[in-house]
Amino acid sequence: MLSNIVPLTIIKGAGSEFIPLPQGENATTADFHSIRTKTTDSPTHLTSGFYKIIAGPQRPASYTFEETKYVLSGQVDVLDEATGITHHLVPGDFAFFHVGSKVKFSTKSEGLAFYAVTRPVRTPHPNLQGREEETKSKL
């Protein structure tokens, strides 16, 4: 048996949790897991979670890290300030935000996306604490 095999991390029910919107905000992120990568060149964090937005003011974002968003439901509009183009992302669309990207998020209805970012956890999802499975169990 190989001793350098690392067990998976499983978080039960992460995708079905309600993601609360803070009062007075029309967009929120909810990080649900973060790890420190083990690459030897430049270790970084990899954090994933959900982004939810409802109609309201545009939400600006300037990127000092990389991010990917995959739209699960609704529509997420992204104004790319480098080009002036607004991208209307719908379920199945994927966007990559580079270090140095500057955007404004909005929607006319609501949208939900899964994201992965190269930064540590910022906003832990309040309902996922203690949900990681034990790694001792064997099938």
pTM of the model: 0.77
pLDDT of residue 91 exceeding 80, the answer is yes
Sheet holding 110-117, edge to edge: 27-36, 45-54, 110-117, 67-74, 94-97
pLDDT in tens, 27-82: 888 777 777 776 667 667 888 888 999 999 999 999 999 999 999 999 999 999 99
pLDDT in tens, 108-133: 999 999 999 998 877 666 666 666 65
**Spatial distance between the Cα atoms of 17 and 4, rounded to a whole number of angstroms:** 33
For the chain, domains (ranges, CATH) are 25-117 (2.60.120.10)
Residues present in the chain in total = 139
**Spatial distance between the Cα atoms of 50 and 47, rounded to a whole number of angstroms:** 10
The model's confidence at residue 20, banded by pLDDT at 50, 70 and 90, is low
Q: What is the pLDDT of residue 139?
A: 45
Name the range with the highest mean pLDDT among 12-26, 41-55, 100-114: 100-114
